[in-house]
Structures are given as structure tokens and as C-alpha cells.
Amino acid sequence: MKTLAQQAGTFRPYLHADGERTVPSEICIFSLTGGHRRWTTIEIPQNVLHLAGEQQLAALAKLMNGYRERYEGAVPFFGDLVGFKFVRLLDHLEFDKTGKFIGRVNRPFRTGSCSVRIS
């Protein structure tokens, strides 16, 4: 397991879309098509990460809105969209499905993982 210092050197904040289910339907297809990185993760442009406070929240809201529109209010494999998380190294911020800020959670958020092996 990486130390916190090692993680800090490689970790990049991202947005995570939460669906109504925590385990993906059709888990094999989910894994084969890119899993969490493809379906639930929204990469944040570097220029947004350098913005301060309210400007950053406004830019994140636009990214969340784009995701909601792209997938028509759903999270592929996880059902209806219920909210978002702005995932940082040591904590995460929670937003409702419209991008409205809910609060800060003082613990890391990490997604699960899955893989498929074809032999």
C-alpha cells in the first residue's frame, strides 16, 4: 500500500457520480468497458483545480451538469443519478444530483475495483 506522501505525489482530484445502486449491474460488462474510470469518474481540467473557492464550485457544477445531461440523469450500470462527490486526497465534498453543495466529509473516498480475466 502506498504511503500518504506517495499518494500525494500521484493523486489527482476528480468528480465521482453516485447512482442509486452501489454495485454495478452487469458487472462483467462494466469491468470490460472501463469500470469506474469510464462510467462514474469525471476528470477535472487542471485549470479548474487551480481556481479558488466559489469559482471552483461553479466550474465543478458545470462539469456535473454536463454529466447529468450526457447520461440523461442516470449513472450507467448504477441506476438513477443521486449525487456527486468531489474526491480529494484526504476528504471529499458531497453534492446533490443537481450539483448543489451538501457538505464536506472529513475522510477519504475511494471507489472499489473489479477486473475480468479471460483465459
Q: Higher confidence at residue 22 or residue 102? A: 102
Amino acid symbol at 89: L
Please provide the average confidence, as pLDDT, over all residues in the chain: 86
pLDDT higher than threshold 70 for residue 32: no
DSSP letter (8 states) at residue 3: -
pLDDT at 112 over 70: no
| pLDDT, mean of residues 21-38 | 74
Q: Are strands 74-75 and 79-87 parallel, antiparallel or unpaired?
A: antiparallel
Each residue of 34-83: pLDDT tens digit?
666 778 999 999 999 999 989 999 999 999 999 999 999 999 989 999 99
pLDDT confidence bin for 33, thresholds 50/70/90: low
Q: Which three cell numbers stand for residue 107?
A: 475522510
Is pLDDT larger for residue 110 or for residue 44? Answer: 44
